[in-house]
Amino acid sequence: MSCFSPSGGVAEGRGGPFHLGLTKIILLALVIFIFPPCTNAQSSYKQAEKYFKEKKFVQAKPIFENFLKQNPHDKKTQEYLGDIAAYAADWDTAISYYKDLVNEEESNADFHFKYGAAMGMKAMSISKIRALGYIGPIKHQLQTAAKLDPQHIDSRWALIEFYIALPGILGGSEKKALEYAKELSQISPVDGYLAKGYVAEECDRPQDAERYYKKAIEVGGSPHTYEKLAALYEKNHQPGKAIETAAKSFKLHKRNQLNYEIGRICAEYNLEPQYGIDCLKEYVANYTLEDGVTKEWAYYHIAQIYKNLDDKKNALIWIDKALSAKRDFPQGKKEKSIILSL
C-alpha cells in the first residue's frame, strides 16, 4: 500500500488503509462544511445585487459590507457600497470608496467619474469657502474620465454642468461647456442637442434653448426631451405651451406621470380647468409607485382647480382627501385655510 507524499513522490505504507479512510473523511468534511457556506455566500451576494437593482439599499448594504470584510479588495463590492452611500447623500463615505477604487484601477473611467461627481456633490453641501478646495480635484477626475473613455457620456455632461455652474473668476466657461457639448454630439446627437439647450438655457438664451430642445425631440423623441422643452416653457411663463408639449409626449409615450404634470400646470396657472381635473383623476386611477408623485398631491391640485373656479364645496372635498391621505401635509393645511376663507 502506498500513497503520494507531499513532495510528489511515493511514500511507503504510512498509515495503511486507515490513512486513506481518514483522508476521505477529511475531504468529505471539506465538501460538507466549506462548500455550502461558499454557495450560501454566493446566494446572499446575488440577493444583495437584486436588492440593489430594486433600490432596496437598506437590505443590500449589510450583505455587501460583510462580503467586503472577507474580500477587502473586491472592487465591485466597493463600487456598490459607494453607490449606496451616494444615493443616501453620504458624500464622505462615497468619496472614500470611489477614491480607493481610483487608486486600485487608475484606468477605469467610471471610477474617476463617480469620484469626481461625489466630490462635486460634497462641494455643493458645504460652505463656498471650503468648496473652493474641491474645484481642482473635481475637474481633474472628470477630465480624466473623459480622456480615458472617448464615449463616456456622463463625464461630459458633468463637465458641462461644472463649467456652467462655476463663476468665470473660478474657471467657469461657456466656451468650455460648449466644447464638451460638441463632443457629446459626436457620441449621441440627442445628448448633444440637450447639452446645447442646457447651456443656452443657463446662459439666459431661451430661444436658442427652445430650438435645441426641439431638435432633440426631432432626433430622439424620448420622454426626457419633451420634459426639457415643457420645463423651459414653464420657466419662461408659457404654461400653455408647456401643457401642449406634455400632451404631445403623453400621446406618444402614455406615461401616467404626464397626467400629473398637465394637471399641476393647469392648477397652478389657472388654465383649462376641466382638462386639468380629468388628467389628475386619470393619474390617481392609474397610479403606481413608479409614478413618483404620491396621490395626495393630485388631490391637492384638484382642490386648487376647484378653488380657482370658486367651487368651495368641491375644493374642500378634495383638500380633505389630500389631508386624509397624508396628515402631515403642511401645503395641504395651508391650502385648506385659503379655501375656507373664500
**pLDDT tens for each residue of 144-161:** 999 999 999 999 999 999
* H helices, E strands: number in the chain: 19, 2
Kindly tell me if the per-residue pLDDT of 40 is higher than 90: no
pLDDT for 41: 64
pLDDT band at residue 332 under the 50/70/90 scheme: very high
Side-chain half-sphere CA neighbours of 204 within 13 A: 0
- Per-residue pLDDT, averaged over 98-121, amounts to 97
Question: Helix 109-124 crosses helix 153-165 at what angle (to 10 degrees)?
Answer: 30
pLDDT for 162: 95
Strand stretches in the chain, DSSP E? 2-4, 10-12
C-alpha cell of residue 71: 474580500
pLDDT for 24: 54
Report which of 259, 246, 324 is spatially closest to residue 286, judged by C-alpha positions: 259
Work out whether the CA dihedral 61, 67, 72, 73 comes out positive or negative.
Answer: negative
Report which of 260, 265, 215 is spatially closest to residue 235, judged by C-alpha positions: 265
- pLDDT tens-digit series, residues 198-229: 999 999 999 999 999 999 999 999 999 999 99
Question: Rounded to whole angstroms, how far apart are CA atoms 211 and 15?
Answer: 87
Question: Rounded to whole angstroms, how far apart are CA atoms 33 and 30?
Answer: 5
Lowest-confidence region among 11-15, 130-134, 165-169:
11-15
Kindly state the percentage of the chain with pLDDT values over 90. 85
C-alpha cell of residue 229: 422643452
Burial class, 297, CB count within 10 angstroms (exposed 0-12 / middle 13-18 / buried 19+): buried
- pLDDT tens-digit series, residues 12-39: 444 444 444 555 544 544 444 444 454 5
pLDDT for 30: 46
Kindly tell me if the per-residue pLDDT of 330 is higher than 80: yes
- Residue 11 pairs in a beta bridge with 3
H-run or E-run covering 216? helix 206-219
pLDDT for 208: 98
pLDDT for 168: 83
Kindly state the percentage of the chain with pLDDT values over 70. 88
Question: Rounded to whole angstroms, how far apart are CA atoms 282 and 336?
Answer: 23
- pLDDT tens-digit series, residues 271-304: 999 999 999 999 999 999 999 999 999 999 999 9
pLDDT for 5: 38
- Per-residue pLDDT, averaged over 301-323, amounts to 97
pLDDT for 23: 54
pLDDT band at residue 4 under the 50/70/90 scheme: very low
Q: Rounded to 5 degrees, what are φ and ψ at 294?
A: -75, 160
Kindly tell me if the per-residue pLDDT of 182 is higher than 80: yes
pLDDT for 43: 78
Identify whether the C-beta of residue 308 lies closer than 8 Å to the C-beta of residue 289.
no
| 3-state SS assignment for residue 2 | strand
Q: What is the CATH number of domain 53-149?
A: 1.25.40.10
pLDDT band at residue 320 under the 50/70/90 scheme: very high
pLDDT for 170: 85
Cα separations (Å) of 308 from 13, 262, 303, 314, 319? 100, 16, 9, 11, 13
Kindly tell me if the per-residue pLDDT of 116 is higher than 50: yes
Question: Rounded to whole angstroms, how far apart are CA atoms 41 and 49?
Answer: 12
pLDDT band at residue 1 under the 50/70/90 scheme: very low
